[in-house]
Structure 1
């Protein structure tokens, strides 16, 4: 378990559009030897990735990212630009092609490049959370749970263009000099973090935020939340401002105050949480991880899944996060506690400080009712025992 290290990055004053707040992240020195390119997949294709024996992860994939540390900062073969099609009677393709990717992350060009699918690494990790189901076959679990585990397992998400106000906010957003990332807030709740190694990469990849995935909570906050206040620097003239130099120093003090309050308050849950990191691939001097939160059952606490590329000092040079909804957090928390107790319902109920019947209700509310042996569970509820 460790935290996300954003050393070398500074949060600049936010820009606001309605209920959307965008906080730019500026890097002191760009990462010159790691560049991130965009790889666009043609058509309206979906992607299928084999994740195990007779098991595939299927998702719509608008684009992939290519991490390149070969020293060639050009875009040759590394990316393409979306085009615009004009013409009368233009129709989409008659079929929906399925693009097969052998891995979520795959090395290319003799180990000098790494192609991966943004956010899908993180989502695969969450969907596979105890995917195999019960590790011990207790009487309460059905044959489906034993044979198929948590299958099928699906999670809902919204595309960025479905999040109210996000498209306009990204369109009018002014990119800061040296900006390498952004934190996206909806109704001042952190929706997502996006970080790249170099300012040129950010300028090229800024539009991809509208195609990213966002959770149910983010969609609801943007739809029902009220407009948020803009950052306003208030400089009081106490008689010490005697020229432009004093005024500039006072303005910079206001910026530092904003940065400190943002990091310790608004981004506290993202930066202060200890995550479980799983290394996906080593990419030259860099390492690609996906991370999961501790699934602490604490109402109101933000919890994110995501992926990160770190340098040899553990500092994040690439980051993309997805905020889980309260329901997704509860589901992950429940699965973790069941697994910790070897999927024994009686011991799990005792560990949670609740009754057997209430635990069964929680399992059903989490969408796992089909995994239970209804007859055995009902009998034990009537008998008032959980063992």
Structure 2
């Protein structure tokens, strides 16, 4: 069993398939030659409800939580069936039969990831990662410098809130998911809006993906993704162009097609998905599932580049079994960068300002604009705005 923390996202074992385009939405399938059979995922619908999760004795996480995942695994490597598997006519797979409601009810969860049986774990997809982002340096100043108000010391960053959009509110996404075809062996997809990577989904088995594909409409997407979908024009399709003068036999044709697929995969993984796959992350293990481990990760919060948060399941050799990501907006990146900079300097304003190459007054303005102004002593906030 591996104990070291991963350093990045590796799609080894997954092959990039031909993309599909609908308007401004591009879906790139991820295919497995050999599915993972001893770990299976199944959706659990909670309907139209607000989820309230106990994080610890003093704080809770509240969000729109329409569905969760149930992971089922075996300890001896034998094939596992997705929890909740049943005979079906296929018309309601992955859907929620509940009729629309006129109001949202509360649904209480004991934990983000909760073991329900010996080989079964229920967890809340994306919310596991979002809670980790919201809890970033949640306790506030570790040393009581004079610039920080009593509230900052006593309550830290509580409450902390961020905005996201459900997939059904992203223009064009519902139509795209309805018309996109699912490839044989498909175990995941990378979703682009205006050719900006909106999110990734990887699952262990093709049958899991077929059930979970409709839940992309219930997932959460960042403000940047919503804006791109609202304002973007249709994106260009990537079409293969073969040199017919070099094709004389069926073998030549197969070789030319293979080269085109390899060139597309190299371009996609190195360029289009480079912001996700080429970045560094800090990982935190959440749970062990036999030979697998559930992790959540945060980016380095570098400004003006892609920043993704998410969660993943890796096996004992580090192979990716499950992945789900959320792209942060530039404002969310700024908040993460500011909090990380403050924490790195023990929340000392002067040292933090020097490390960022700005004045203490400019740092106070950044804290105010980031929504954390209530943490500062009043006269420091007033001085920052009057100079």
- Deviation per CA, 1:110-149, whole angstroms, max 9, x where unpaired? 2x01110000000000000011111111111112111111
Correspondence for 1:104:
112
- Deviation per CA, 1:7-66, whole angstroms, max 9, x where unpaired? 110111210011111000001210011111111224x32221111223111112111101
CA distance in 2 between counterparts of 1:381 and 1:136 reads: 25
Correspondence for 2:89:
none
1:72 shift after superposition: 3.9
- Deviation per CA, 1:69-107, whole angstroms, max 9, x where unpaired? 13441543799852265xxxxx736x6432221110011
CA distance in 2 between counterparts of 1:13 and 1:149 reads: 48
Q: Does 1:186 align with 2:190?
A: no
Contact 2:365 2:385 in 1 (8 A): no
Correspondence for 2:120:
113
The one of 93, 101, 117 equivalent to 1:92 is 101
TM-score, normalising length from structure 1?
A: 0.92
The one of 151, 154, 157 equivalent to 2:158 is 151
Contact 2:49 2:107 in 1 (8 A): yes
CA distance in 1 between counterparts of 2:341 and 2:242 reads: 52
The one of 213, 229, 244 equivalent to 2:236 is 229
- In structure 2, the gaps of 5 or more residues are 1-5, 87-92
CA distance in 2 between counterparts of 1:152 and 1:202 reads: 36
Q: Does 1:2 align with 2:1?
A: no
1:377 shift after superposition: 4.8
Contact 2:72 2:82 in 1 (8 A): no
Specify the SS of the correspondent of 2:159.
coil
Correspondence for 1:331:
335
Correspondence for 2:3:
none
TM-score, normalising length from structure 2?
A: 0.92
Specify the SS of the correspondent of 1:347.
helix
How many pairs are equivalent? 372
Q: Does 1:83 align with 2:97?
A: yes
Q: Does 1:252 align with 2:261?
A: no
Superposed CA RMSD = 1.9
Correspondence for 2:315:
311
- Structure 1 outlier segments of 4+, above 4 Å: 77-81, 377-382
The one of 28, 38, 45 equivalent to 2:43 is 38
Correspondence for 2:267:
261
CA distance in 2 between counterparts of 1:4 and 1:380 reads: 41
Correspondence for 2:73:
69
CA distance in 2 between counterparts of 1:277 and 1:74 reads: 27
CA distance in 2 between counterparts of 1:25 and 1:322 reads: 18
Q: Does 1:220 align with 2:227?
A: yes
1:248 shift after superposition: 2.1
Correspondence for 2:345:
341
What is the correspondence of 1:39-58 to structure 2 with a 5 Å cutoff? 39-42=44-47, 44-58=48-62
Specify the SS of the correspondent of 2:114.
strand
Q: Does 1:124 align with 2:131?
A: yes
- In structure 1, the gaps of 5 or more residues are 86-90
1:381 shift after superposition: 8.5
Contact 1:286 1:312 in 2 (8 A): yes
